[in-house]
Each structure stands twice: as C-alpha cells, then as structure tokens.
Structure 1
Amino acid sequence: MSAKPVAVVLLNWNGWADTIECLETLLRSDYPDFRVIVCDNASSDGSLDKIAAWADGQLEAGGAEGFQRLRASPLGKPVAYQRLNATQALQASAHDVPLTLIDTGGNLGFAGGNNVGLRHAMASGRYAYYWLLNNDTVIEPDALRRLVARMEAEPQAGIGGSTLRHYYASQVVQVAGGSSYNPWRCRAVPLAANQPAAEPLDAAAIEQRMAYVAGASMMVSDAFLRDIGLMAEDYFLYFEEFDWACRAAGRYRLVYAPDSLVYHKEGGSIGTGARGKLSATALYYLQHNRLKFTRRFFPARLPLLYFSMLLELGRAALRRDFFEIKWSLVALLGLPPRGLSNRKRQA
C-alpha cells in the first residue's frame, strides 16, 4: 500500500533560525510522501528571506550539538520552493515542490496563521493528513511515519499527537500526546509532564485521559478537517486545540503515537519556557482564553473558574508577583490589553 500524502504546516513569527533547524530535520523524514508549508505571520526580522536563503544553500542551520545526529544524512541544496502571498495561497498550487513559503499578510495568531496553510493544502485535494508542527521543534526521522501509522490504525481517529520531549533536556518528557482536563480548577494538566523518557508510557491509558492533543505536534485527518472545520481564530493564542477537540467530541477520537518523538523548545516566539517565566502576552491570553473557552463549552463551571483564578491571584500576591497579578486582572476584568509585550521575565 502506498503512503498517504501529508501536508506539514509550520507557523513562523520572528523565528527563522528555529524554523530552519526544524526544516533540516523535517526534510530528512523517512516518510515517502509529504510537502512542507511555512506560514509567516508578518515577521519583522526578514524571516521569509532568511528561510529562502537557507533553501538556496546560502545560509547554514544552527542548533544544539546534541541534535547533530538528526542532520547526519545528506540534505541536498538547493531545496525547491515557491513563495506565495495570502491571496495566492487561497488557490491550489500550480507547482509541486517540497517547500512552500507563505506570507500570511499579518500577525493572525496561532490558529489564523496555521489556517492559511491548511486552506492552501486543502485546495489541492490531494492530502489525507495535515500535520501542524511547531517551528521550534526538531524531529526524529520516523516521527511522521509513526504518527501516520497510529492515525491509520484507528478508523475514527481525528486528531493525533506525538511524544514531546524537552529540547534542552531531551531525556525528559514534556508532554505525552496532550493534556487531561481538571473540571474543578478548569485547568489542563499535561500528561506525563517531566517524566524521565526511560520510563514506559501507557499509550492506551494516555489516550483515555487526553482531553486534547498538544498543538506543538498535532495531526488531523482530511475527513476531520472537512467535517469539523478549521481552528477557531478568535482565541489568537492558547486553547485552539482544546476547542477543536470539543467540537469533534463523540464523532472523532484522539489518538497518541508514543514512538513519534518531537523535541520542543516551547514558547520561543511568545516568551515562555523553561528558561524564563511567562511574558505579558502569554499570561494575558492564557487567562483570557480560559474564560472564553469555559464560557463556550462549560458555562456551568464559570463560578469554579472565577474561584480558581482568585486563589491564583492570592498566591501571586503572597509571592509579590505584581506582573502576574496585573495581566491576570486585565484578563479577568475584560480590560483592553494595552502594552502587551513578549519580553520574558527572568525566573
């Protein structure tokens, strides 16, 4: 049986160095039939020009020494590519090339930027699966193949996830597949977070607990996408994948491919991750969208959410974390988020 074609969508925003490192491993994938679409959300750092220069063989990729093995096999340059604007991307491509670079025309957020790539891929009518992969990742050569295999094994599979490991601590699990959901605190709980990678993962138990698949590596089927629709764009950042899963509940299954390994830096564009605390942008949208999501899908739990958020504000006050208090209150009170910044606070 021939491999089913896959469109891989990467979203870039002022992160060309991460995107190039990701492409270096992605294009070495052992899966026989896939194309890559990079969607750029109006970067101010010349990202598309830098990525095009890399594809032309004029710019080298960087990255941690520990992942040099993922780039050991030859990758011929130049890599054939095409560049499209947002209007051109609405049409099926006239050229079948390994790499497509799309200028989305603005900072459309996570869902909006990825949806540009999804629309472009769907217009061709040739893809069975679409893999949304964060640009701040590197992958094992068989990660795509193993993820497709898990989707193929489950007839009702709508969304599939990988094992995400920490890029800066590659023997530690960041999240296995996705997250469960605590209805009492209205909070998502990443599955197997910070578990040593050597410990076994119970894939069946993880699938039973998953409320949604982590957006850093999220594969959807063509049937799912045409039935359920694209990601909701009104979140801008956070909760889009949970919204997607809730819209599909009872019609499609969430699946997990434990041997599909993806190493994730986490939050390079928005100011999150192990090396710093949440930025204003991350804090605001995390809290704002907790409220929006709960109102949309679990309105009866809003009192629990307000109570939980007040407890969190109390803990922040005890820590004298006035930065967190400010942006949590802005979100909680529905105030205009003026002065948002991606600048990280030091841990």
Structure 2
Amino acid sequence: MPSAPRVSIVIVSWNALPLLKTCLPSVVETDYPDFEIILADNASTDGSAAWVAAEFPDVVIVRHQENGLFCRGNNLALPHATGDYIVLLNNDVEVEPDWLHPLVREMEADDVGAVQPKLRQYDDRNRFEYAGACGGFIDRLGYPFTRGRVFDTMEVDEGQYDDARDVFWATGAALMLRRTALDDVGTLDERFEMHMEEIDLCWRLQRAGYRIRVAPDSTVYHIGGGSLPKGNPRKTYYNFRNSLLMLYKNLAPADWRRVFAQRVAMDTAAGLRTLANGNIEEAKAIVRAYRDAHRMKTAYDGMRPKETRVQPPYRGLIAVDYFLRNRSTFGQLPRDAFVPGWFD
C-alpha cells in the first residue's frame, strides 16, 4: 500500500493568541498519517509563538522579522514546508479530525492544482461561511461569489452543494495546493498583501492547465474577520484594488479595456451606494483603490497574456442578479449564463 503524501499546514498569525487557543488544538488533532504544522508568526508581540511552543512542541515555528500580512507571511514560510501538498490555513479555522483525507483524494488527479473544503460558520455551524462556502466563481467583471454565499446572503447547508466539482477559485482560508504547481506558477502575489490573492493564484493555476476543486466531504469552521472585520475601509480598499490588479494581470489587454470601462461604471454605483448609506470612509477607500491600482499595474506589463484563454466563468453581472433580479443564492443563477463547460 503506497504511503500517504506528506501535507504541510501553514498557519499565518499576528497577535492572535485567543484565536490560536480556540482553533489550533483541532488542527493538532488531525487524523492523517503524515503531516506537519508550521506557524508563520508575523512578528507577534502577544506571546502567541511562545504559547504554541510550550503547548505544542511539534509545531514548527517560523518567526518573521515583521508583519508580512497574509501573502508574504505565507510565502516566507513555504521554504520550511516539506510536504507534497501545502495547506494555507487561517488561524481562525477549526477543523474536523478527518478533514485532510478528502482533500488529498482530490489531489490524486495530477491536473488538480488546488482544492478547498466546505467552509461553514463557526458560530452557526449549519450555515455556509462568507470567505469561501463551497467553492468560488467570478462574474465577467471580476466580482466574486460562491456556492453558498452571494454578497451577504449565506445559505443554510442542506446538502445542495455536496457535489465535488471544479470551481474557479478556492478559498485562502483553507487552501490545499500542489507543491509542484506552485513551482510552475509562483506563490501568492505579495503586491496584493491580503485579500483576493487566492483568486489570482487560482486563475494563474488554470492558465497553466491546472484545475481547481472543492471537496465537500471535508468540512471546516471559520470564525472570520480575524484580520479585518467586515465594513472596515481597509478591507474595502484591498478588495477593490486587488480585484482590479487581478483583472489587469490575467486578462489580455483588449479584454481588460472592455472590462475596465464596465467596472468603472459598476464601482461608481457602489461608491454612490456607500455614500448614500453614510459610509464616507468606505467610499474614500474605493477611490484610493483605483488610484493605487493604476500606479501598481505597470508591474505586470511583462506577464500579461496576449489572449484570454481562461475567461471569468460567469458571463452575467452578479450585482445585477442580486440587487435587481432578487437572485440571492447560487442555485438561482441561470446556468446558461456560465461559460460553456462549467455546467454542461
């Protein structure tokens, strides 16, 4: 009987001792024959690295000199990982004992580059969680949504998305990656710092010929908001800026120009909506996101595709579906609005 592939679980953390005390014990109790846990400590000052060293001496601790946020914090830890597969796991995720087995089974197909488990809410355990639910997609303008969560509507998990299948992106909250695939396409884009980086990585993996999967037989529970809570203007800034950068680097120039014109219109509407709701700082964050994305995008000029061979999978506009057509769940979206091949 062949030995189980080795899995490296990388957990980035910064001043999050309460979260580690809540969630790390479940990761340590994982029922899998060959795995290691690496704590990538982003220069915490709350004693969390010392606590982990005392409570769980088998956990490898990589101490960073500064807070590299999510992308750099993970990337700096990867050279210390010895696994065939690497799991990027948020520090606010509790896992079930057998969570790794379904993920590893999906990886048995050599063309699978990444896979995620089913994400449910930590405090409402029958409901999908915002960050990734049961696998993600984007619409033609790059706005993300998932099976189980569209905007702020998070469905109760009644088995409606229990089919293991290809998705466009897998959540960075619990993301298993093939080590050799990372060697092919590179690691997380550190210019993103945090937010949307996993969608960019999954898009790059698909451009290199890999598939992205969800394994609903594996379930984890995400607290959420550990880095930036919902409604934080900084979170808004990262989401809008990084979404624009992701589109710029993964779309061919002609497609980018077409999409960008539509994005400006949609994001202007979003900004006006936040102003109408009295969220002045959030509206300012959207303006800053556009300014900085414009400044940063030239860094990608040498790596853009000449032809967009991996298109955004949903040809509709998820905001129009949700706010104007009352389509609040993934199951209500028209299948013929997806690029052929996704739901044939």
Aligned-partner residue type, residue 125 of structure 2: S
Deviations 1:8-55 (A, max 9, x none): 0000011122123222001111111100000011223232123224x1
Q: Which runs of 5+ in 2 are unaligned?
A: 295-344
Return closer, same or farther for 1:249/1:48 CA change in 2, 3 Å cut-off: same
Which residue of structure 2 lines up, in the alignment, with residue 118 of structure 1?
A: 78
- Measure the CA separation in 2 of the matches of 1:317 and 1:281: 16
Task: Please state how far the C-alpha of 1:202 moved relative to its aligned partner.
Answer: 4.4
- Measure the CA separation in 2 of the matches of 1:45 and 1:213: 31
- Measure the CA separation in 2 of the matches of 1:242 and 1:192: 17
Deviations 1:250-293 (A, max 9, x none): 411111110111100112122x2xxxx32132121112212221
Which of 105, 108, 119 is equivalent to 1:149? 105
- Identify which range, 230-239 or 285-294, moves more after superposition: 285-294
- Measure the CA separation in 2 of the matches of 1:128 and 1:8: 11
Task: Determine if contact 1:176/1:258 at 8 Å carries over to the other structure.
Answer: no
Deviations 1:69-126 (A, max 9, x none): xxxxxxxxxx33xxxxxxxxxxxxxxxxx311111111112111011221211xx4xx
Asked if residue 134 in structure 1 is aligned to residue 94 in structure 2, the reply is no
- Measure the CA separation in 2 of the matches of 1:177 and 1:192: 6
Task: Please state how far the C-alpha of 1:134 moved relative to its aligned partner.
Answer: 0.6
Which of 298, 312, 323 is equivalent to 2:270? 312
Task: Please state how far the C-alpha of 1:163 moved relative to its aligned partner.
Answer: 0.2
User: TM-score, structure 2 length as denominator?
Assistant: 0.77
Task: Please state how far the C-alpha of 1:335 moved relative to its aligned partner.
Answer: 9.5
Task: Determine if contact 1:214/1:241 at 8 Å carries over to the other structure.
Answer: yes
Task: Please state how far the C-alpha of 1:138 moved relative to its aligned partner.
Answer: 0.3
Instruction: Spell out the pairing of 1:270-281 with structure 2 (5 A cutoff).
Output: 270=228, 272=229, 277-281=230-234
- Measure the CA separation in 2 of the matches of 1:335 and 1:158: 28
Which residue of structure 1 lines up, in the alignment, with residue 243 of structure 2?
A: 290
Task: Determine if contact 2:197/2:242 at 8 Å carries over to the other structure.
Answer: no
What stretches of structure 1 move > 4 A for 4+ residues in a row?
A: none
Which of 165, 174, 185 is equivalent to 2:120? 165
SS at match of 1:288: helix
Task: Determine if contact 1:160/1:177 at 8 Å carries over to the other structure.
Answer: no
Task: Please state how far the C-alpha of 1:142 moved relative to its aligned partner.
Answer: 0.7
Task: Please state how far the C-alpha of 1:143 moved relative to its aligned partner.
Answer: 0.5
Asked if residue 188 in structure 1 is aligned to residue 188 in structure 2, the reply is no
SS at match of 2:202: helix
Which of 308, 325, 343 is equivalent to 2:283? 325
CA RMSD across the alignment: 1.9
- Measure the CA separation in 2 of the matches of 1:262 and 1:335: 33
Which residue of structure 2 lines up, in the alignment, with residue 52 of structure 1?
A: 53
Q: Which runs of 5+ in 1 are unaligned?
A: 56-78, 81-97, 337-347
Task: Determine if contact 2:237/2:286 at 8 Å carries over to the other structure.
Answer: yes
Asked if residue 227 in structure 1 is aligned to residue 180 in structure 2, the reply is no
Instruction: Spell out the pairing of 1:69-148 with structure 2 (5 A cutoff).
Output: 79-80=56-57, 98-121=58-81, 124=82, 127-148=83-104
Task: Please state how far the C-alpha of 1:248 moved relative to its aligned partner.
Answer: 1.6
SS at match of 1:311: helix
- Identify which range, 222-231 or 256-265, moves more after superposition: 222-231
Which residue of structure 2 lines up, in the alignment, with residue 11 of structure 1?
A: 12
Aligned length: 281
